[in-house]
Amino acid sequence: MARLKAISPEEATGKTKELFNAIQGKLGVVPNMMRTMGNSPALLEGYLNLSGALSHGALGAKTGELLALSVSEKNNCDYCLSAHTYISEKLVHIDVDSIVNARRGVTADPKTNAAITFANTLTAKRGLVNDEDVAAVKAAGFTDGEIGEIVGHVALSVLTNYFNNTANTEIDFPVAKPLATIEA
């Protein structure tokens, strides 16, 4: 059962209504996470702005989704795992094996693997990476700007993971459970 209320688009007013209208226009629906974030228009707007900015970054949609899958797995966020599994497969057209591998923290492409490894290191160390961690991702060919984007993607995932785990947001995507519960 949800701990925070998801606002229906029909109930929304003011800034929340304005943001919901924009989401509805772009996606055709207002997902439950955004409906729940709508309780705080500042949070919803901040999430949308960061997500939108990163979507135009150098890393691209595929890498962004793989990072979100890996971080969401580490943070046991059923909502984000479900959303990003669906988005990765249906919208970004990432194959199922690559999705599962990203959730495990690995990928066949060495450069993408370095990004996922760095993202998981950031998550595990709560951002307190060292010179060797940064040198490893640079050695894989990432620029300072791209490393900044990886940090941004991790921050976005942590925001949504923590929010959905706090809210116990009702999943409105096909459910994807953490691998630990599936592979145990």
Q: CA–CA separation, 24 vs 41, rounded Å?
A: 15
pTM of the model: 0.94
Q: Percent of the chain scored above 70 by pLDDT?
A: 98
Given this model, what pLDDT does residue 182 score?
Answer: 66
Taking only the tens place, the pLDDT of each residue in 54-98 is 999 999 999 999 999 999 999 999 999 999 999 999 999 999 999
Question: Quick check: is 8 in a domain?
Answer: no
Task: Specify the CATH number for the domain of residue 146.
Answer: 1.20.1290.10
Summarised one tens digit per residue, pLDDT across range 36-50 is 999 999 999 999 999
**What's the structural domain count of the chain?**
2
Question: Residue 42: which domain range?
Answer: 14-55
Average pLDDT of the segment spanning 101-113: 94
| Residues 92 and 167 placed together within one structural domain of the fold | yes
Alpha-carbon distance values, 118 to 105, 127, 133 (Å): 10, 10, 7
